[in-house]
Structure 1
């Protein structure tokens, strides 16, 4: 079993109003050193596959078809082996 972490972010050319709002809130709280904020999402997938390459392929297909909007978002996939839930208990 593998755990795939899919990180989805708006493309740099896309305006991020939520990030702007968080930036202003942080600066109002005294965090003037923060100069830019971009908001994204992280999706954890547990995938039963024989190899890490197969798990990555499945995660990438899921991201391309459902998890990320290809017009506005980019994504990264990281895959690591994990113990099955039954074996971990």
Structure 2
């Protein structure tokens, strides 16, 4: 069994209204000095394989085909 994490974030230059709202909310809660907030998604996935290279390839395929909208999002894969 291999555990992995896929992190999906908006590409640089894509507007992030939810991140902006979080940034303003943090300021309203007294957390000053927060420069920029970008939000994203994290997927923790367990795969029934013992081959890390195969797992990473499958995870990249999953991310490209379903987990991320590759037009506006980037993703990273980390085998844990």
Q: Name the TM-score, length of structure 2 as normaliser.
A: 0.96
How many residues are matched? 80
Aligned to 2:17: 17
Instruction: Give me the whole-angstrom Cα distance separating, in 2, the residues matched to 1:14 and 1:2.
Output: 33
Higher alpha-carbon Rg:
1
Q: CA deviation at 1:50?
A: 3.1
Q: CA deviation at 1:33?
A: 1.4
Q: CA deviation at 1:37?
A: 0.3
Residue segments in structure 2 that go unaligned for 5+ positions in a row: none
Aligned to 2:79: 79
Question: Is structure 2 residue 29 aligned with structure 1 residue 29?
Answer: yes
Aligned-residue CA RMSD in angstroms?
0.7
Residue segments in structure 1 that go unaligned for 5+ positions in a row: 81-89
* SS of structure 1 residue aligned to 2:38: coil
